[in-house]
């Protein structure tokens, strides 16, 4: 986190977010966010695979993000859940589902979270 970083005009108490589509085939997005006041930053990349499931569409989020706690020099790698659009011909609704993992190599901390769908 430095004033000569990606957004040098932002103040320390702001959250700065930058994202860019870095590839078109397949479409891959890269992102970076930081909050200098809290000494936190996150970066990652994400791409999707979609498929139709009858009256629903599933979007599988592939990639991960790394959340860095700068005061502790800890890096947490986080995966993403899938997204589902349900009842796409009626009254549509959306939900997240699937497994997410959070792991820190330095501390050995880890969590596995499962988002259950209806």
The answer to whether 66 and 72 are in contact (CB under 8 A) is no
Mean pLDDT value of segment 61-69: 97
Token pair recorded at residue 79: 């995966």
**Residue closest to 64 by CA, chosen among 83, 44, 49:** 44
In the prediction, which pLDDT does 10 show?
72
> What per-residue confidence (pLDDT) applies to 25?
87
Q: What domains sit in the chain, N to C, each tagged with a CATH number?
A: 16-115 (2.40.160.120)
Tokens representing residue 15 in the block: 């959250």
Q: What is the DSSP string of 76-98?
A: EEEE--EEEEE-TTSS-EEEEEE
Q: What is the pLDDT, as a whole number, of residue 5? A: 60
- What's the mean pLDDT in 28-53? 94
Segment 96-112 mean pLDDT: 98
The pLDDT mean for the chain works out to: 91
The neighbouring-strand residues paired with 68 are 41, 75
pLDDT digits (tens, 9 = 90+) for 66-101: 999 999 999 999 999 999 999 988 999 999 999 999
Radius of gyration of the chain from its Cα atoms, rounded to whole angstroms = 17
């Amino acid at each position: 986190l430095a004033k000569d970083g990606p957004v040098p005009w932002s103040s320390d108490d702001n959250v700065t977010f930058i994202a860019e589509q870095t590839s078109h085939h397949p479409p891959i997005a890269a992102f970076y966010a930081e909050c200098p006041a809290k000494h936190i930053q996150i970066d990652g990349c994400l791409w999707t695979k979609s498929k139709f499931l009858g009256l629903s569409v599933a979007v599988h989020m592939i990639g991960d993000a790394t959340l860095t706690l700068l005061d502790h020099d800890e890096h947490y790698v986080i995966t993403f859940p899938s997204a589902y659009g349900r009842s796409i011909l009626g009254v549509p609704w959306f939900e997240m589902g699937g497994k997410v993992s959070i792991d820190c190599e330095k501390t050995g901390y880890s969590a596995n979270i499962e988002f259950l769908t209806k």
